[in-house]
Amino acid sequence: MKVIFYLCSFLLLALPTFAQENRPPTLDILQLMERLFPIQDENLDYEALYELLLELYQNPLEINRVTADELQATYLLSTPQIQALLEHRRTWGDFLSLYELQTLPNWDSTTLVTILPFLSLETYATSSKTFFERLRSEENNYLVLRHQRTWELRKGYSKNDSTLNPTSWYLGDPNDLFLRYRVQHAKDFSLGLILEKDPGEVLAWDTKTSRYGFNFASFHFTRYGMGRWKTISLGDFQASFGQGLVFGAGFSLGKGAETVPTVRRSSLGLLPYTASIETGFFRGIGLTRQMGRWQSSLLISSIGKDGRVSESNDSLGTAPQTLTSLSQTGLHRSLSELSTKNQVRETNLGSNLQYSAQSGRWSAGLNFLHTQFSIPWIRNATSYNAFDFSGQTNQVGSLYANLTWKNFALFGESARSRSQGQGTVLGLVSSLSRTVDFSLLWRSYDRHFHSLYATAFAESTRPSNERGVYLGFQVKPSSTLKFNAYVDFFTFPWLKFRVATPSNGQEWLVCWSYQPQKTRQVTLQFKQERKMRNLTDEVESTPTQQVGTILKSQAQASLELDISPELSSRSRVLWNQVTFDQKKTQGWMLIQECSFARANWKLTARMALFDTETFDNRIYAYEQNAVGTFAIPAFSGRGSRQYLLAQYRIHSRLTAYFRIAKTIYSDRELISSGMQAISGPKQTDTVLLLRYALH
């Protein structure tokens, strides 16, 4: 805590020496997030998506250099809109103003309002300054300090409780500390450092447990456009090529209210890793070289992974180690959790070769990734994971292609892993007319297809053991009215967790949005999902296991009003119903939120009431938070939720955020369970964040 205090004091004293921050156009991130995730679902990694969206907002795309893949990756533009922008640039040269976009075919006012915060007219030109001079004088240079805490005491901190296993006690305090430093310039360089301590973790320097102060540290340094070297990445980075069957980084939405553009992935190449999530990235070096229309990439990575390790004696009396499971939480609060830290080393060697046609209308590429663990990964055997990856090495390779023809964008990728399992994605996105857009995606993933960094389109959390067909539609009969809908049919040829038989399901959604004025919008949405599940809570399959159908229906209605330039209001009603084992249960939530902004202040307040009968009826509700901080809690039971978020621009270089949130339950005296349990019906959380612009 003293380190944080001294840093804050230094930066406050140094304010007069800092130059003014260069801020991008204002973005209503809540409105955009609710548009992309109108009904939240636990299957999406929202924090990673939020980080990538925020990254794009803080580094707007240069409109005179942006590629089709980069525009597609925003998921905010249709194929004809992207083609119209590129064709205008080829015909008339560089844009002189962002507002030239309103003259393009298929571009309306709603599209402009949404996309403008992510675009910049600035074009990076070769400077006479050296790299270190540009680095030192870069305006996009900032430091973020954040403190979060739950103020009620969780059970894990009760070290005097003799009923608890001492290996489960939390070693640290309840404070969540986060520090981020970043300096960057689009198409030139990016340098960043992240340090984080989760609640319950202790600040310690201990080489035996691979702790060097903060429990998580991430560093990246990326250079762009160094001669033929398109990208050079050192430290932590991600890779995005094809449709995500081998390299799956990037802003991936899957199924949502934006039913057409979100099914297609973009090949963005090597990307600096800027999130605080402790999994899903490479650590090492990545290189991309441009050779005319050809582009080749190579990555080498070595990183420690958390996992459970066991020892077993063989016939010679030795005790070889095996990895039984990988931990994805990134938490190291207790002796038990610390025993999993960096127990196995994962080494990756990957490559990509891509060709892009001069016309920009088609591209194709090859991917390959070799992964090796320092000890074999042997899972605890169950029926449903019988075909999951097991062993010490894995290889996966793929071929992908993209083609744009008239109003059609066709895309696909097919991959094969060392186990001979195959995964394939084929799809198209099209504008059938000026008012109707359409998308179609077919996927097939064998039960023994293994790709450890894949995030391809799937109903499950990873592309394996699944077949499916997705159809999406968008109809805009006028500039004020929009209909979106999708239907998705899927089957699982093998068993799944809590499903003791091959199964199938379907999901559909309809969304109606009406915006008669920029200051008013009404949205109505309904979603229904049918899957199969064991009738008992037993995870492992037995010959007598019974399987039933679970039907989930969700609906929401929202009204957004800008009452004045300073005051806005959002009202939402959420409802769901779950039918399972001949029982129907329901849940609902009422939300009222108001925002007031004047001069350097912005205040946002929310009041919500919720009532759900079972855990299956839980409701996810996106909440506003300090910049770069994501909150989407799930509400189950009966109670109320309130929060107040205050944002104050102390100086042109310093902005402070403070948020206090409280949940009060009326149906319980114990919140959560296990070591996270809180005795009592209330939970209070706070966030304090300071953001400086150093130039």
pLDDT in tens, 310-363: 876 555 555 688 999 998 889 999 999 999 999 999 999 999 999 999 888 899
Q: How far apart are CA 64 and CA 287, in angstroms?
A: 25
Looking at residue 317, what is its pLDDT? Answer: 54
What residue type is assigned to position 146 of the chain? Answer: R
Q: How far apart are CA 251 and CA 246, in angstroms?
A: 15
Q: What percent of the chain has pLDDT over 90?
A: 57
Nearest Cα to Cα of residue 476 among 429, 409, 431, 526: 431
User: Mean pLDDT throughout 67-94?
Assistant: 83
Q: How far apart are CA 360 and CA 404, in angstroms?
A: 8
Q: What is the 8-class DSSP label of residue 37?
A: -
- Token pair, residue 332, equals 């190291």
Q: What is the 8-class DSSP label of residue 254?
A: -
Indicate if the pLDDT at residue 373 is higher than 90.
yes
Per-residue pLDDT tens digits for 143-171: 999 999 999 999 999 877 777 788 889 99
Place of tokens 């030239």: 100
- Token pair, residue 123, equals 């074009």
Looking at residue 661, what is its pLDDT? Answer: 97
What residue type is assigned to position 459 of the chain? Answer: E
Looking at residue 33, what is its pLDDT? Answer: 60
Looking at residue 161, what is its pLDDT? Answer: 73
Measured CA angle at 65 (ends 435, 356), to 5 deg: 80
Indicate if the pLDDT at residue 266 is higher than 90.
no
Looking at residue 42, what is its pLDDT? Answer: 52
Angle of helix 29-36 versus helix 46-58 axis, rounded to 10? 130
Q: How far apart are CA 112 and CA 365, in angstroms?
A: 32
Looking at residue 312, what is its pLDDT? Answer: 65
Highest mean pLDDT among 46-55, 474-483, 663-672: 663-672
Measured CA angle at 303 (ends 302, 308), to 5 deg: 130
Per-residue pLDDT tens digits for 638-653: 999 999 999 999 998 9
Q: How far apart are CA 479 and CA 273, in angstroms?
A: 38
Indicate if the pLDDT at residue 69 is higher than 70.
yes
Confidence class for position 32, pLDDT limits 50, 70, 90 = low
Looking at residue 606, what is its pLDDT? Answer: 96
Prediction pTM value = 0.87
Indicate if the pLDDT at residue 195 is higher than 90.
yes
Place of tokens 């209605």: 557
Nearest Cα to Cα of residue 357 among 366, 347, 365: 365
Looking at residue 30, what is its pLDDT? Answer: 57
Place of tokens 């001669």: 227
Confidence class for position 48, pLDDT limits 50, 70, 90 = low
Looking at residue 268, what is its pLDDT? Answer: 86
The answer to whether the CB of 353 falls within 8 A of the CB of 294 is: yes
Write b or e for each residue in 637-647: b if 16 or more Cβ atoms lie within 10 A of its Cβ, otherwise e: bbbebebebeb
Looking at residue 4, what is its pLDDT? Answer: 39
Looking at residue 3, what is its pLDDT? Answer: 39
Q: How far apart are CA 526 and CA 528, in angstroms?
A: 7
Of residues 61 and 630, which shows the higher confidence score?
A: 61
Of residues 167 and 48, which shows the higher confidence score?
A: 167
DSSP secondary structure string for all residues of 671-684: ES-GGG-EESSEEE
Nearest Cα to Cα of residue 556 among 40, 32, 114: 40
Per-residue pLDDT tens digits for 415-466: 999 999 999 999 999 988 888 999 999 999 999 999 999 999 999 888 999 9
CA distances from 100 to 85, 94, 109 (A): 10, 10, 12
Least trusted range by pLDDT, from 161-165, 200-204, 486-490: 161-165
Place of tokens 């250099």: 65
Least trusted range by pLDDT, from 55-64, 330-339, 558-567, 602-611: 55-64
Q: What percent of the chain has pLDDT over 70?
A: 88
**Pairing label, strands 61-62, 119-120:** parallel
Indicate if the pLDDT at residue 10 is higher than 80.
no
Q: How far apart are CA 645 and CA 51, in angstroms?
A: 19
Looking at residue 208, what is its pLDDT? Answer: 76
Indicate if the pLDDT at residue 126 is higher than 80.
no
Looking at residue 140, what is its pLDDT? Answer: 85
Indicate if the pLDDT at residue 27 is higher than 90.
no
Of residues 71 and 312, which shows the higher confidence score?
A: 71
Which class for 512: exposed (0-12), middle (13-18), buried (19 or more C-beta within 10 A)? middle
Per-residue pLDDT tens digits for 276-302: 888 889 999 999 999 999 999 999 999
Tell me phi and psi for residue 322, to 5 degrees. -135, 145
Confidence class for position 212, pLDDT limits 50, 70, 90 = confident
Nearest Cα to Cα of residue 117 among 29, 1, 9, 239: 29
Q: What is the 8-class DSSP label of residue 154?
A: B
User: Mean pLDDT throughout 231-253?
Assistant: 87
Nearest Cα to Cα of residue 562 among 170, 92, 26, 28: 28
Looking at residue 583, what is its pLDDT? Answer: 94
Looking at residue 8, what is its pLDDT? Answer: 42
Of residues 5 and 24, which shows the higher confidence score?
A: 24
The answer to whether the CB of 508 falls within 8 A of the CB of 485 is: yes
Indicate the SS3 state at residue 230.
Answer: strand
Strand partners, 534: 547
| Secondary structure percentages of the chain, helix, strand, coil, to 5 | 15, 50, 35
The answer to whether the CB of 527 falls within 8 A of the CB of 507 is: yes
Length of the chain: 695
The answer to whether the CB of 19 falls within 8 A of the CB of 651 is: no
Mean pLDDT of the chain: 87
User: Mean pLDDT throughout 556-568?
Assistant: 92
- Token pair, residue 497, equals 């967790």
Confidence class for position 14, pLDDT limits 50, 70, 90 = very low
Looking at residue 127, what is its pLDDT? Answer: 62
- For the CA atoms of 31, 32, 38, 42, the dihedral, rounded to the nearest 10 degrees, stands at -120
Looking at residue 12, what is its pLDDT? Answer: 37
Indicate if the pLDDT at residue 539 is higher than 70.
no
Tell me phi and psi for residue 682, to 5 degrees. -125, 145
Confidence class for position 251, pLDDT limits 50, 70, 90 = low
- Token pair, residue 614, equals 């079972």
